[in-house]
């Protein structure tokens, strides 16, 4: 179990009616009751990110800095130096790109205990267009030392991650969506450990590794392929950093075909991290990455965007069928070395 925090936990019943953001707001407020050192900060997106729940309950511990993301991160760093635990929320694109150097130099270089809960990750704010999409954040953040990077699959996993990040004495980035991602987990009654992938479906023919909103679709695709007699393992790789190399190596050894899928540029995110582990492992393996193909996406509903770029159930299923038919170099000594 990740954390000693008890209290209220969430089930699919609540999660069905609430967005990831809403669950975040409620869990943070609950943590705030127990931890007087928690403070909240936002930049005119308190209501939009739901950190306003915390602000309404603890007005004296909440700071809306106006539309000023650099100052948002600078102030959070100062509060952390004073001994507080700041939770900072704005849209993912502004947290990482607008305030990126403040995140890196103030929070990560000084290894400060600040939690960045970034909403509207990936293309989840679809209709707002490229200015508000965040398809570069994981590539950028993976390269920043000291930072823990988590992409929960749904609202319930968001609750788990928010509680678990309290155990880390350093900067944590949690990327959540805009809302309405279908629930993956039934309740909070499961083991969530930062840095450890979760096998959501066992499988022997191929492994689909997903994070965030694509986890649900990976499961659906796995179910679809099961009806065709294909055994698809699904890993919820919720932590991009530190990375669960072992889960990847095991998947390579046991299924020898891997697909990654993420709501992010195909460059530098989950796919890149998995490719790195596979290449260093030196084992032949059929491998594909699904994600945004290095382009600024058009605006549109998130479900449409996910469909167009093939990161929804249909796209994943099609890619599974393709990769199942693919050849790869088979070492003679493969079995010995595994």
Partner 1 sequence: MPLTEQERQQFTAIAKKIRGDLVDVTQWSGGAHIGGSLSMVDLAVLLYWKYLKLDPAQPDWPDRDRFVLSKGHAGLGHAVVLANRGYFDIALLKDFNQYGSPFGMHLDSRKVIGVEVSTGSMGHGLPEAVGLALGARVLGASWRVYCIIGDGESNEGSIWEAAMAAAHYKTGNLIAFLDRNHLMIDGRTEDIMSLEPLADKWSAFGWNTVVVNGHDLDALAVAIEAAQAHTTGPSMIVCETVKGKGVDFMENNPAWHYGGLSVDLAAKAKQSLGV
Residues in the site for ligand TPP, rule: CB under 6 A? Answer: 44-45, 67, 69, 94, 98
DSSP code string of 61-80: GEEE--S-HHHHHHHHHHHH
User: In the complex, which residue's CB is closest to ligand TPP?
Assistant: 44
Candidates 6-14, 124-132, 193-201, 246-254; binding stretch for partner 1 (CB under 8 A): 124-132
The listed partner (partner 1, ligand TPP, none) that binds 128, CB under 5 to 8 Å by sort, is partner 1
Q: Which of 173, 136, 171 is nearest to 152 (CA)?
A: 173
Q: Classify residue 232 as exposed, middle or buried by CB count within 10 Å of its CB (0-12, 13-18, 19+).
A: buried
Among 13, 180, 190, 301, binds partner 1 (CB under 8 A): 301
Q: d(Cα 102, Cα 198) in Å, to the nearest integer? A: 32
> Min. distance of Cβ 44 from ligand TPP in angstroms?
4
The listed partner (ligand TPP, partner 1, none) that binds 170, CB under 5 to 8 Å by sort, is none
Using rule CB under 8 A, residue 67 touches partner 1: yes
Candidates 6-14, 126-134, 157-165, 229-237; binding stretch for partner 1 (CB under 8 A): 126-134
> Min. distance of Cβ 270 from partner 1 in angstroms?
24
Using rule CB under 8 A, residue 132 touches partner 1: yes
Which CB, 72 or 305, lies closer to ligand TPP?
Answer: 72
Give the list of residues 6+ apart from residue 231 with CB closer than 8 angstroms, or none. Answer: 202, 203, 204, 205, 206
Decide if 146 contacts 170 (C-beta within 8 A).
yes
The listed partner (partner 1, ligand TPP, none) that binds 140, CB under 5 to 8 Å by sort, is none
> Min. distance of Cβ 181 from partner 1 in angstroms?
19
Among 93, 139, 215, 277, binds partner 1 (CB under 8 A): 93
Q: d(Cα 15, Cα 12) in Å, to the nearest integer? A: 5
Among 3, 22, 35, 44, binds partner 1 (CB under 8 A): 44
Using rule CB under 8 A, residue 295 touches partner 1: no
Among 2, 9, 12, 47, binds partner 1 (CB under 8 A): 47
Using only C-alpha atoms, what is the Rg of the chain?
A: 19
Give the list of residues 6+ apart from residue 80 with CB closer than 8 angstroms, or none. Answer: 86, 107, 112, 113, 114
Decide if 285 contacts 278 (C-beta within 8 A).
yes
Using rule CB under 8 A, residue 127 touches partner 1: yes
Write out the H or E segment, with its range, that includes residue 265: strand 257-265
HEC sequence for 78-108: HHHHCCCEEEEECEHHHHHHHCHHHHHHHHH
Using rule CB under 8 A, residue 62 touches partner 1: no
User: Which strand ranges, in their side-by-side order, compose the sheet holding 257-265?
Assistant: 198-201, 232-236, 206-210, 257-265, 286-292
Among 2, 71, 146, 231, binds partner 1 (CB under 8 A): 71
| Chain residues that interact with partner 1, rule: CB under 8 A | 42-48, 52, 64-68, 70-71, 93-94, 98, 126-132, 298-301, 304-305, 308
């Amino acid at each position: 179990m990740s954390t000693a925090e008890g209290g209220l936990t969430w089930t699919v019943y609540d999660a069905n009616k609430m967005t990831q953001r809403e669950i975040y707001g409620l869990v943070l407020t609950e943590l705030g009751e127990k931890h007087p050192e928690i403070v909240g900060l936002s930049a005119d997106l308190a209501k939009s990110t739901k950190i306003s729940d915390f602000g309404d309950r603890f007005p004296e511990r909440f700071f809306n800095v106006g539309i000023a993301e650099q100052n948002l991160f600078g102030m959070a760093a100062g509060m952390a130096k004073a001994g507080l635990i700041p939770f900072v929320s704005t849209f993912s694109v502004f947290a990482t790109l607008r305030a990126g150097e403040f995140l890196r130099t103030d929070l990560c270089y000084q290894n400060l205990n600040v939690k960045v809960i970034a909403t509207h990750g990936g293309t989840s704010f679809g209709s707002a267009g490229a200015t508000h999409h965040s398809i570069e954040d994981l590539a950028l953040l993976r390269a920043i030392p000291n930072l823990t990077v988590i992409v929960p699959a749904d609202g319930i996993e968001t609750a788990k991650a928010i509680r678990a990040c309290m155990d880390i004495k350093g900067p944590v980035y949690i990327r959540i969506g805009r809302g309405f991602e279908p629930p993956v987990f039934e309740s909070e009654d499961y083991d969530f450990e930062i840095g450890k992938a979760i096998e959501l479906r066992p499988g022997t023919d191929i492994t689909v590794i997903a994070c965030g909103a694509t986890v649900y679709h990976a499961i659906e695709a796995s179910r679809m392929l099961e009806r065709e007699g294909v055994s698809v393992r699904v890993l919820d790789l919720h932590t991009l950093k530190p990375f669960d190399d072992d889960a990847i190596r095991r998947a390579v050894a046991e299924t020898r075909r891997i697909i990654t899928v993420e709501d992010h540029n195909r460059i530098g995110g989950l796919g890149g991290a998995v490719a790195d582990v596979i290449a260093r492992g030196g084992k032949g393996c059929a491998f594909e990455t699904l994600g945004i193909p290095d382009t600024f996406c058009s605006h549109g509903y998130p479900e449409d965007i996910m469909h167009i770029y093939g990161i929804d159930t249909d796209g994943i299923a099609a890619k599974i069928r393709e990769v199942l038919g693919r050849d790869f170099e088979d070492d003679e000594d493969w079995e010995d070395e595994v």
